[in-house]
Amino acid sequence: MDVSVHPPRHAVRDAVARAIAEDLTPLGDLSAALLPAGVQARATFVSRSRGVVAGTMCATEAFAQIDESLVVEWQLDDGAAVEPGSVIGTVDGAMASILTAERTALNFLGHLSGVATRVRELVERADPLRVWDTRKTTPGLRSLEKAAVRAGGGRNHRGNLSDWVMLKDNHLMGLGITAGVHLAKDRWPGRTVHVECERLDQVIEAAEAGADAILLDNMSPAQVRDCVVAVHERHGARRPLLEISGGITLDTVAAYAGTGADLVSSGSITNSAPVLDIGLDILRTDDVRPR
Amino acid sequence: MDVSVHPPRHAVRDAVARAIAEDLTPLGDLSAALLPAGVQARATFVSRSRGVVAGTMCATEAFAQIDESLVVEWQLDDGAAVEPGSVIGTVDGAMASILTAERTALNFLGHLSGVATRVRELVERADPLRVWDTRKTTPGLRSLEKAAVRAGGGRNHRGNLSDWVMLKDNHLMGLGITAGVHLAKDRWPGRTVHVECERLDQVIEAAEAGADAILLDNMSPAQVRDCVVAVHERHGARRPLLEISGGITLDTVAAYAGTGADLVSSGSITNSAPVLDIGLDILRTDDVRPR
Amino acid sequence: MDVSVHPPRHAVRDAVARAIAEDLTPLGDLSAALLPAGVQARATFVSRSRGVVAGTMCATEAFAQIDESLVVEWQLDDGAAVEPGSVIGTVDGAMASILTAERTALNFLGHLSGVATRVRELVERADPLRVWDTRKTTPGLRSLEKAAVRAGGGRNHRGNLSDWVMLKDNHLMGLGITAGVHLAKDRWPGRTVHVECERLDQVIEAAEAGADAILLDNMSPAQVRDCVVAVHERHGARRPLLEISGGITLDTVAAYAGTGADLVSSGSITNSAPVLDIGLDILRTDDVRPR
Amino acid sequence: MDVSVHPPRHAVRDAVARAIAEDLTPLGDLSAALLPAGVQARATFVSRSRGVVAGTMCATEAFAQIDESLVVEWQLDDGAAVEPGSVIGTVDGAMASILTAERTALNFLGHLSGVATRVRELVERADPLRVWDTRKTTPGLRSLEKAAVRAGGGRNHRGNLSDWVMLKDNHLMGLGITAGVHLAKDRWPGRTVHVECERLDQVIEAAEAGADAILLDNMSPAQVRDCVVAVHERHGARRPLLEISGGITLDTVAAYAGTGADLVSSGSITNSAPVLDIGLDILRTDDVRPR
Amino acid sequence: MDVSVHPPRHAVRDAVARAIAEDLTPLGDLSAALLPAGVQARATFVSRSRGVVAGTMCATEAFAQIDESLVVEWQLDDGAAVEPGSVIGTVDGAMASILTAERTALNFLGHLSGVATRVRELVERADPLRVWDTRKTTPGLRSLEKAAVRAGGGRNHRGNLSDWVMLKDNHLMGLGITAGVHLAKDRWPGRTVHVECERLDQVIEAAEAGADAILLDNMSPAQVRDCVVAVHERHGARRPLLEISGGITLDTVAAYAGTGADLVSSGSITNSAPVLDIGLDILRTDDVRPR
Amino acid sequence: MDVSVHPPRHAVRDAVARAIAEDLTPLGDLSAALLPAGVQARATFVSRSRGVVAGTMCATEAFAQIDESLVVEWQLDDGAAVEPGSVIGTVDGAMASILTAERTALNFLGHLSGVATRVRELVERADPLRVWDTRKTTPGLRSLEKAAVRAGGGRNHRGNLSDWVMLKDNHLMGLGITAGVHLAKDRWPGRTVHVECERLDQVIEAAEAGADAILLDNMSPAQVRDCVVAVHERHGARRPLLEISGGITLDTVAAYAGTGADLVSSGSITNSAPVLDIGLDILRTDDVRPR
């Protein structure tokens, strides 16, 4: 398991506990309760589409919280590419427990794989630009979606308002960029200071002031290239990162790929990714010998 | 406020509290802390696209949890249609507080309005079929997304595993449909018993056995029509509801609209709806008189 | 273990965690801390009365949360009948841990077995009527008490306000029964619509309107019989369920048993059931060989 | 409001939040959502039986958590005696909100008033003995039931395992009473040390060793009297409290009233008290002028 | 493991879960994610100073919550004395998991051992007085710090406002000591009643009234001695405990040791104890055979 | 109120709720319950020592959670210097509520002011070096202590493992500094990369590799100066921050003040700061007119 593409365990535990509570309160699974006792099954996660897997830890946790005797094994780890028919993993144990946990496990796996899939597409088209996510995530799933971004090959922009400084026009009111960056660096030494700019002169000022990253907001490829040239000339290797942002889509990103900027960011990879279609094929296994 | 299109308050409070904690742990908003004290602002929620609003209670709650002195007012309630430029609501108060809560509020509003918008589109194309949601919701947001479905004009299928019985092939193993429905009715009297069927003979058997609703899985419009005729002939007004399900999309739903079935269900309205693009326009208001 | 008579695991975990926190905050068990280290014991749950067992999952969980090395085994499952002296289960392990968890385990077991016992009594006297519970449950224990009702042989009425529609006079204000049922069916298709009626004409109207279940409120056995006849005549096999409610007790239920109604409901089985007297007999086992 | 008969606020908030979540997850109140918007009502809590009120803070909190605009006023405080027809309090505001909160509020009020009522009966029959509760409480409701005991005129025995030492035979294994009490006093100086005794000689030993309270377990009135005499003679004013325990009921307690002991304890007042029958009478108030 | 020096498990679980959430939200450990997969390590807790160990359960729990496959073993239990270089325990398993949990484990271990160390110093200098803690604890860590006090050889004063009565001048307003103690004994029979006194006459009155413990507030050694003599003369063996309090420090406590009082209390042992310097020495163990 | 020196509200709410639960579970404040109803009071927070205030939001919240009718006003905000006798703030309202909340409010205020005071001392002696905190915080109080550091005039190092990369020898195993920094920059673009170094050659390598900050571990002032010179010469204005760390105390910091480094970090300011002695003077105010 590659730890770098998975979310922290406490976030997985908490998110799964909430999902189970919302699916089983107050009476539990009425339908599974009709099954005769003792029926065993093997279930297989199979992708129905092309994409990238993410969320296996959540699926494992969902089965474990429903019934710790279920045995879950993964053939593929988060970040793996799948085609229609790819087997992702298996679950063995009580049929009733598998049916109860099925939808919760699939909701996580489908959603997070959907994010990873969308990221991978953008990563491939944006190359050599790297892909940054944003704080435009689904409420309550920040940790999980940001891990899915990593699984898809993207990079994580700031995780939240607490981990770096981002100066937009409302933050800079009356100060101007230079004073704003200096204030941020004085108050939060060592921390990334990121400035949102709309024009070349702002970019030059932000870079001069010592910004660590600059968001080029809603610029055309040509404008971006001008900014890149200006910043590279003035600051060489110790220059700030240049991020392209503002409505970049799978269709338009290729036009920016060769601009020489560092990164492109996208909110839609987390807040508008359709699920990846993954199914759970369930077989009764009573006649199979226990292992 | 039309209570029927909003989620229960406890669900709003809890979801917002989690979203705020994930965006502000541990240091709070580093950038807003750079603002001079006392700056006041008015912010306006404006739609950038055509769609349907949902999630205003969540946005209100986000501002209140950050700073209870903020004043939030809505020009439009959940369920209202918007065009690019439509003003949805306003927030007045401390600039720093508004900036801190902005993204959390928008994440809820954008996501839930996205669901409502997608539902409305399907409702319009499916007419006279009604639209049912599913349990394919984003983990942790079941209550909120199901309310957004209602705001969009859809109907809620079962809320979770606990509120009605749904019999799929794995539940019916060795029993058959008739015995399965009778068992369910005996164990859970008064509760909806819903049966998933793939063929006409199963549909006839389920209806005969007393099922309250029948899911017609992956059938063509012609097959659906055969089922409708068979069930109407046999059971008249006291017949079970007939639901069309299985990969119905905005593009294909029209072909089913005239089949005479009752409902079409779709997982994608909740788990694959892109956000509705809503922005927050912020103006400094220090020179405006306090009211 | 018969899954249909047990509550969902998440509800057990949460309820037990709360009970342990309220019994051990902040210093833990002062008295058990006086025991010399290493004392081992075997404890036996023994019923002191006649009744029905429920709550064994909660007792298991209480011991596990206090000390996961304790070994709990049950001779009887939820739903089993006991007499004075019946052995229900055993716990082996550290004496201090057993003493610390004892009261929490017994509080769950006694209360839930008390509910199951009261239900069984009513089930036996009401036969062939089936017994329905209500939402008159002890706050915070809904899931657990509803499972105990199933263990006692009763059936679960709606689990909460979210799983089916129940129309009382206050809901029908100005609408009338027919329009109320139609509105409910339109807004919540597929979902049980239950109507509370006080008179025969209301019952006839509700059945005609398509109600799935009708509550006959505070009627005499003769009045119930009139309603049964009227509904059976008009609707045959597809008729709504008829529920008798309103102050039915162990003493009066027999008079209703032969009315031909379907169910009798009672709030007192959950909110007024005395505990079943179950004790924990503890023996020091240091001189017994470890197994 | 007499603070001494109410539970701490945090316990009320938490218990009510759980009760509301279990009654409204995931879709909220389906039936109240059918009401036309804007209907106002006044609801009156009326006792249907003779008893003692407890739990008003919980009822207030239930309404507030559902809709903070509801106005709740109490004519009677916890501890007040009621007769059939007594008005306890009123709620004014939106009909839909009142209906949604009604059952949660009544479940608390009925259960806690039931406890207070049962306590008051025992207090009256036991006089001049005072009544002690136990740790035999409903899981999750310890704080609330112990406050209801005070409302009924009883006294609180230890609140949990953490607040005083209670030595039963299993705690004293191999030590004997004298050494056990000394050990407890050494480890937990200042803290109540309570010893459970079955025979006069144990009582004398425990008193001599410095126990602060002695539980006389399963003794006849004559045996109790012998213990009282022995302890009074030896220790006068600085004697330990003498508690009678073990299956004392409303029917048998009078025989112990004159024994000279200090207290009688009972688990059944908390774990087996039937609810007090309290109803909520609701009137539509649209035609009444707003105040 | 000596259970009497450890906190209750639920308090450990909850405190560790919070600490991990605050250290890993939202993205987890960025640095550990850079490690190549599969690196194994052995880590050793080593004291860098002289002191007393406490908090090992918390450290164990921190590693378990991060990665349940880590193996933790303790050479020393809470309460053990350490010198610079003393090995306290070891952890074996994945390097990345150990690094992620390291700081959380050390924060608990260092803080709680710091408390135990400070307590032990005071215990040694105060002898034969025993040392009592207070409610002046770090918010959220009451259970853990009180257990560390026991590990250091101190005793726990009341755990919170709920476990015994403490009467200060504001509680006694208008009542006086005698009536105050009687009221407390009447309302809370069996429970410790503790009175804060500033003068000898108050001490005599409180003892006469039946107080179980008396706090001698801000008195000189000579004043304490006068109080001791007065109380011993009047009440002999059944006298209340006499506690010295008010700014007693490691430097001044020796002057009180011979006064004949029972206990000295100190808030600074819990709220002002510096951490005990404990380090975690980590060695890569890939070339070591697995056991 | 200067938002930059306060913690985020959600962290305050949660920490206070936990502190209140641990102080009042299960029975509430036994002693305050003895007060006659209706007694009003005014309480004043007064410093008994020289120091810096922090934690006023927590104190406000503690009073509000106990009794929302209490009125709290602050004369001084977090960050203000106090002398013995300085009035910090006042509380007006019910005496019983004030007494119940007093210790919780003081525990927060004393602890956090203690941290701020210790920080201010170090800031003054370290000038012109700035002071950085660490992750060596009290478990569960990270947000609050980091805000107190800001109130004291210090700066926040990373808030947790999630907000920037810190490379120690265990992270760099087999990679070396240059490759390690490049890997970190590739995986986490834009994010601070901080490297721990013990020797001049490591410092030069880290700076060359592009580290944003370098921790000079356990170096003498002369060694620090060498590193400063080397880095300034090579990198000028775009150089990494240089942090001095490793056992720097109030006594030794002055020797480093003139080295030209940027920051000194200290764990003891958060994990070993004694409380600032703040008292709450309470006066009965019944005879004062209500305002």
Quick one: pLDDT at residue F288?
47
Write down the pLDDT at residue D287.
Answer: 53
The alpha carbon of residue A11 is apart from the nearest alpha carbon of chain E, in Å, by 8
What are the CA-CA distances from residue D105 to residues C111, D77, D91, D172, D288 (Å)?
Answer: 21, 15, 11, 45, 25
Q: Band of the pLDDT at A247, cuts 50, 70, 90? A: confident
Q: Provide the sign of the torsion angle of the four alpha carbons F58, F62, F68, F69, taken in this order.
A: negative
Does residue A177 contact residue A202 with C-beta atoms inside 8 Å?
Answer: yes
C-alpha dist (Å) from residue B273 to A133, B136, B250, E213: 19, 12, 12, 67
Which pLDDT band, with edges at 50, 70 and 90, does B287 fall under? low
| pLDDT value of position E286 | 73
A181-185, A259-263, D36-40, D181-185, range with the lowest pLDDT: D36-40
Rounded to whole angstroms, the Cα distance separating F44 from F75 reads 10
Query: What does the pLDDT read at residue A291?
Result: 43
Residue F28's SS3 state is: coil
Report which of F146, C215, A30, A118 is spatially closest to residue B27, judged by C-alpha positions. F146
Distance from CA of A30 to the nearest CA of E (A): 32
Q: Quickly tell me which residue has 């689990």 as its tokens.
A: C159
How big is the D-F interface in CB pairs under 8 Å?
Answer: 44
- Among B29, B102, B121, B196, the active-site one is B196
- D25/A contact by beta carbon, under 8 A: yes
β-pairing, D165-167 with A213-217? unpaired
- Mean pLDDT confidence for C211-230: 97
Query: Does residue A27 sit at the D interface (CB-CB below 8 Å)?
Result: no
Question: Is the pLDDT at D237 greater than 90, yes or no?
Answer: no
Closest-CA distance, C271 to chain B, in angstroms, reads 21
What is the Cα–Cα distance from E209 to E215, expressed in whole angstroms? Answer: 15
CA distance B277 to B48: 5
E159–D contact, CB cutoff 8 A: yes
For residue F290, what pLDDT band results from cuts at 50, 70 and 90? very low
Could you tell me the two tokens for F169?
């020898």
Question: Is pLDDT above 70 for E289?
Answer: no
Q: Which residues of chain B from 40 to 79 reach within 8 Å of chain A, CB to CB?
A: 41, 58
CA distances (Å), origin B108, targets B61, B92, B111, B193, B213: 10, 19, 5, 34, 33
Distance from CA of D75 to the nearest CA of F (A): 17
Chain CA centroid to CA A93, Å:
31
Residues in chain E closer than 8 A to C67 (CB atoms): 9
- pLDDT, residue F287, reads 54
Q: Are A91 and A72 in contact (CB under 8 A)?
A: yes
Inform me whether the pLDDT recorded for C289 exceeds 50.
no
Taking the CA of residue E2 and the nearest CA in chain F, the distance in Å comes to: 24
The question of whether D196 is a catalytic residue gets the answer: yes
Question: Residue F172 in 3-state DSSP?
Answer: helix
Mutate to test the interface with F, among C25, C27, C103, C104 (most CBs of F within 10 A): C25
CA–CA separation, C186 vs C190, rounded Å?
Answer: 9
Of F50, F135, F136, F155, the catalytic one is: F136
Residue F279, pLDDT above cutoff 90: yes
Min Cα–Cα distance to chain E from A120, Å: 19
- Does B137 contact A at CB distance below 8 Å? yes
Mean pLDDT, residues E116-122 taken together: 98
User: Longest C-alpha distance within chain D, in Å?
Assistant: 76
Contact B264, B132 (CB under 8 A): yes
Q: What is the predicted pLDDT for the residue at E42? A: 97
- Given an 8 Å threshold on Cβ–Cβ distance, is B22 in contact with E21? no
Kindly state whether D22 is in contact with chain A, defined as any CB-CB distance less than 8 angstroms: yes
Q: What is the ipTM of this complex?
A: 0.96
Nearest CA in chain B to A62: B139
Chain E residues close to F39, C-beta within 8 Å: 173
Known active-site residue B217: yes
Residue E141 has pLDDT above 90, yes or no: yes
Chains near D (3 or more Cβ pairs under 8 Å):
A, B, C, E, F
Residue D21: pLDDT over 60:
yes
Q: Is residue C146 annotated as part of the catalytic site, yes or no?
A: no
From D29, D133, D196, D262, the catalytic residue: D196
Tens of pLDDT, residue by residue over E44-100, are 999 999 999 999 999 999 999 999 999 999 999 999 999 999 999 999 999 999 999
Backbone angles phi, psi at B137, to 5 degrees: -115, 170
The rounded distance, in Å, linking the Cα atoms of A156 and A146 is 6
Q: Which member of B187, B238, B241 has the closest CB to residue C189?
A: B241
CA C154 to chain centre: 8
Q: Does A37 touch chain C (CB under 8 A)?
A: yes
Q: Do B184 and A26 touch (CB under 8 A)?
A: no
A18: amino acid identity, one letter: R
Torsion of Cα atoms, E193 then E199 then E202 then E207, to 10°: 60
* E strands present in chain C: 40-47, 51-52, 71-74, 81-82, 87-94, 130-132, 165-167, 193-197, 213-217, 241-245, 263-265, 278-284
Question: DSSP readout, D1-21?
Answer: --GGGS--HHHHHHHHHHHHH
Helices and strands in chain E: count of H runs, count of E runs: 10, 12
pTM strictly above 0.90 = yes
In total, the C-beta contacts within 8 angstroms joining chain B to chain C are 68
Inter-chain touch E155–D188, beta carbons under 8 Å:
yes
Q: Is B17 on the interface with D (CB under 8 A)?
A: no
Q: Say if residues D61 and D291 touch (Cβ distance below 8 Å).
A: no
Residue for token pair 């993205």? E27
Percent of chain E topping pLDDT 70: 98
Question: Which chain C residues are closer than 8 Å to D103 by Cβ?
Answer: 135-136, 161
Confidence of residue F94 (pLDDT cuts 50, 70, 90): very high
Q: Which of C13, C48, C130, C168 does the annotation list as catalytic?
A: C168
* Dihedral (Cα; A199, A205, A209, A212), 10-degree rounding: 30
Q: What is the mean pLDDT of residues F79-83?
A: 98
Q: What are phi and psi of F51, to 5 degrees?
A: 175, -155
User: At E25, which amino acid appears?
Assistant: T
Query: Cβ-count burial of B281 within 10 angstroms (0-12 exposed, 13-18 middle, 19+ buried)?
Result: exposed
Q: Which residues pair with B154 in a beta bridge?
A: none
Residue E190 confidence (pLDDT) above 80: yes
Known catalytic residues of A are 103, 136, 168, 196, 217
Optimal mutation site among E14, E27, E66, interface A, most CBs of chain A within 10 A: E27
pLDDT value for E288: 47
Size of interface A-B (CB pairs under 8 A): 199
C244-259 per-position pLDDT tens digit: 999 888 999 999 999 9
Strand segments (E) across chain E: 40-47, 51-52, 71-74, 81-82, 87-94, 130-132, 165-167, 193-197, 213-217, 241-245, 263-265, 278-284
CB of A263 within 8 A of CB of A131? yes
Is B156 an interface residue toward D (CB < 8 Å)?
yes
Q: Are F56 and F109 in contact (CB under 8 A)?
A: yes
Nearest to D170 among C99, C163, C191 (CB): C99
- Omega cis (within 30) before A26: yes
Lowest mean pLDDT among B144-158, B260-274, C164-178, F154-168: C164-178
pLDDT of C171-208, one tens digit each?
A: 988 789 999 999 999 999 999 999 999 999 999 999 99
Q: Tell me the pLDDT of chain E averaged across its residues.
A: 95
Among A203-207, C246-250, F123-127, whose mean pLDDT is lowest? C246-250
By the CB < 8 Å criterion, does F27 face chain D? Answer: yes
- Look at A21 and D22 and tell me if their CB atoms are within 8 Å: no
Instruction: List pLDDT tens digits, range B171-227.
Output: 988 789 999 999 999 999 999 999 999 999 999 999 999 999 999 999 999 999 999
Residue A157 to chain C, least CA–CA distance (Å): 35
Q: Chains that contact A by 3+ CB pairs under 8 Å?
A: B, C, D, E, F
Of the candidates A1, A8, A160, the beta carbon closest to that of E28 is on A8
Where b means 16+ CB within 10 Å and e means fewer, A146-185 reads bbbbbbbbbbbbbbbbbbbbbbbebbbbebebeebbebbb
F158 touches chain B (CB under 8 A): no
Which tokens is A175 given? 């100060």
| The two structure tokens encoding residue F115 | 């941290």
Provide, as residue numbers in chain C, all residues whose Cβ is less than 8 Å from the Cβ of B237.
Answer: 210
Average of per-residue pLDDT across B9-26 = 97
Angle CA A234–A240–A241, to nearest 5? 125
Q: pLDDT value at position A290?
A: 46
In E, minimum Cα distance to C67 occurs at: E9
Of all residues in chain C, what percent carry a pLDDT higher than 70? 98
Residue of B163, B185, B186 to mutate when probing chain C, most C C-beta within 10 A: B163
For F192-261, the DSSP string reads -EEEEESSHHHHHHHHHHT-SEEEEET--HHHHHHHHHHHHHHHGGGPPEEEEESS--TTTTHHHHTT--
pLDDT digits (tens, 9 = 90+) for D62-104: 999 999 999 999 999 999 999 999 999 999 999 999 999 999 9
Judged against a pLDDT cut of 60, whether residue D289 lies above it is answered with: no
Cα angle at D6 between D1 and D9, to 5 degrees? 100
Name the nearest CA neighbour of D155 among F24, E165, C26, E206: E165
Distance from CA of E1 to the nearest CA of C (A): 7
Q: F175 is written with which tokens?
A: 């990679």
Work out the average pLDDT over F187-206.
97
Q: By the CB < 8 Å criterion, does D165 face chain E?
A: no
CA distance D278 to A275: 50
E180: three-class secondary structure by DSSP = helix
D9-24 helix and D56-66 helix, angle to the nearest 10 degrees: 50
Catalytic one among B50, B130, B135, B136? B136
Q: Region E2-31: what's the mean pLDDT?
A: 96
Q: Any alpha helices (H) in chain B, and if so which ranges?
A: 9-24, 56-66, 95-126, 142-151, 169-172, 177-187, 200-209, 221-235, 254-257, 268-271
Average confidence (pLDDT) over E274-285: 96
Using an 8 Å CB-CB cutoff, list chain D residues near A22. 25-26
Q: Assess whether pLDDT exceeds 80 at residue A289.
A: no
In sequence order, the β-bridge partners of residue D98 are: none
User: Alpha carbon E210 to chain centroid distance?
Assistant: 29
Chain B interface, mutation test: which of E23, E25, E27, E103, most B Cβ atoms within 10 Å? E25
Q: What digits encode the pLDDT tens for the residues C262-283?
A: 999 999 999 999 999 999 999 9
**What DSSP element (H or E) covers D214?**
strand D213-217
- Cα angle value B38/B43/B46 (rounded, 5°): 170
Query: What pLDDT score was predicted for residue D231?
Result: 98
- Exposed/middle/buried for residue D49 (C-beta within 10 Å: 0-12, 13-18, 19+): middle
pLDDT for the residue F175: 87
Mean pLDDT to the nearest integer, F63-70: 97
Q: Shortest Cα distance from E230 to chain F (angstroms)? A: 27
Q: How far is CA C256 from CA A1, C44, C219, C237, C249, in A?
A: 64, 41, 10, 21, 11
Q: State yes or no: pLDDT of F220 exceeds 80.
A: yes
pLDDT at D153: 98
The pLDDT score that the predictor gives to residue C173 is: 81
What is the average pLDDT score of chain B?
95
Return the structure tokens found at D159.
Answer: 């609140």
DSSP F274: P
